[in-house]
Amino acid sequence: MLISLIVPCYNEQDALPLFYQEASRVAEEMGRSHGAEFEFVFIDDGSKDDTLSIMRALHGQDARVRYQSFSRNFGKEAGIWAGLKAARGDYVAMLDADLQDPPSLLPEMLDALISGEYDCAATRRTTRKGEPPVRSFFARLFYRIINKMSDTEIVDGARDFRLMTRQMVDAILSMGEYNRFSKGIFSWVGFRTKWLEYTNVERVAGTTKWNFWKLFRYSIDGIVGFSTAPLALAAFVGVFFCLAAFLGILFVVVRALLFGDPTNGWPSLVCIVLLCSGVQLFCTGIVGVYLSKTYLETKRRPICILKETEESGPRADQRLQSRKNQEER
């Protein structure tokens, strides 16, 4: 029984060694308790620090460690995808490098899958302690909105930390979309999910890679990726304004016929014109967002570009060289 641990890393030179230490400890424990073997799949998402060298070094000292390095920063979603694709395990887990997803939960997750009752063990935080209150507020708002709009349920507080069966991983990989929103994809593929809850843990080292603007764009990706309700909303608002305009015209014509037409009401006219054109632009914008996503999707660009893997890295050259030397001898 092989378990793959996928770890997307972006500038995680401080956290990665700590993660490796903790994950190895849990791996050893589970080797004894469950007879499980492990592989670590580290994804270097175009880090600008020493993350990649650390991965190379870890691969050098531990054959279980594999890594993939991107040619630039493609984002965590691309990292998850590349990791799932590279994973060879019968069970696949993904965790953050900052130990905010405690590997010590893995035994419990594995028990749930082995029992055959579940295909996936996922985690959610019960608190958002340690997070800026504004961020928590908007996060809650986002989950409320997307769950109203989308048929796919997106669980509030769900983390990307989960353990899945090979069958579920293959299902996720069969979704080849370019605009990836994992929280939606996990839910969309279905399967029976067991939810484990834990309280929020602060990251061990390094800083968060998400700022408010990035999160905002991520939430738009989520809504656009898993709901077409905004398009319907645009049409609905259009109809509403047409009706309002029709009633307005009736009112103005009747008033002019009955009372003549004193030339006043320009300020209100300007306000109405501004409002209507604003709504029009807003609705065109909604259509534009969907169009741009469709545009990117039709280009069929790869989700990420690999620059180096453990099979092509510096150590691989050494191995090849020593093999050649042996053959020559």
63: left (phi over 0), alpha (psi -120 to 50) or beta: alpha
Does 100 bind ligand UDP (CB under 6 A)? Our answer is: yes
Task: Decide: 234 and 286 in contact? Cβ < 8 Å.
Answer: yes
Q: According to CB under 6 A, which one of 64, 128, 135, 209 is a site residue for ligand UDP? A: 209
DSSP state of 211: -
CA distance readout (Å), 159 to 25, 63, 82, 197, 321: 22, 29, 18, 10, 43
10 makes contact with ligand UDP (CB under 6 A): yes
Regarding 124 and contact with ligand UDP (CB under 6 A), the answer is no
Determine which residue in the list 4, 12, 158, 165 makes contact with ligand UDP, applying CB under 6 A.
12
* 130 φ, ψ (degrees, to nearest 5): 85, 5
Rounded CA Rg of the chain: 26
- Please report how close the Cβ of residue 132 comes to Mg ion at its closest, in angstroms: 14
The interface region with ligand UDP, picked from 8-16, 134-142, 146-154, 309-317 by CB under 6 A, is 8-16
Structure tokens at 32: 């004894």
Asked if 13 touches ligand UDP (CB under 6 A), the answer is no
Stretch that binds ligand UDP, among 29-37, 90-98, 233-241, 247-255 (CB under 6 A): 90-98
* 216 near ligand UDP (CB under 6 A): no
Torsion angle, alpha carbons of 204, 205, 210, 212, to 10: 80
Among 38, 55, 69, 79, interactor with ligand UDP by CB under 6 A? 79
Between 98 and 221, name the residue whose CB sits nearer to Mg ion.
98
What is the dihedral sign for C-alpha 204, 207, 211, 215? Answer: negative
Catalog residues that contact Mg ion under the rule CB under 5 A: 96, 98, 100, 203
Determine which helix (DSSP H) or strand (DSSP E) holds 4, and give its type and residue range. strand 2-9
CB of 98 to ligand UDP, least distance (A): 5
**Which token pair is 28?**
């050893």
Name the strands in the sheet holding 193-198, side by side, starting at the edge strand that comes first in the sequence. Answer: 193-198, 120-125, 158-165, 91-94, 2-9, 37-44, 65-70, 306-309
**Distance of alpha carbon 314 from its chain centroid, rounded?**
31
- Does residue number 180 form part of the binding site for ligand UDP (CB under 6 A)? no
8 contributes a contact to ligand UDP by CB under 6 A: yes
| Length of the chain in terms of residues written | 329
Q: How far is the CB of 102 from Mg ion (least distance, A)?
A: 12
Select the binding partner of residue 73 from Mg ion, ligand UDP, none (C-beta < 5 to 8 A, by kind).
Answer: ligand UDP
Q: Is 190 left (phi over 0), alpha (psi -120 to 50) or beta?
A: left
210 binds ligand UDP (CB under 6 A): yes
203 binds ligand UDP (CB under 6 A): yes
The one among 56, 59, 66, 76 contacting ligand UDP by CB under 6 A? 76
Of 209 and 307, the one with the shorter C-beta distance to ligand UDP is 209
User: According to the binding rule CB under 6 A, does residue 97 interact with ligand UDP?
Assistant: yes
Give the tokens for residue 285.
């914008």
Which residues in 251-280 contact ligand UDP (CB under 6 A)? none
Amino acid identity for residue 227 in this structure: S
How far is it, in rounded angstroms, from Cα 214 to Cα 72? 17
> Residues touching ligand UDP: how many (CB under 6 A)?
17
Interface with ligand UDP (CB under 6 A):
8-10, 12, 45, 73, 75-76, 79, 96-98, 100, 203, 208-210
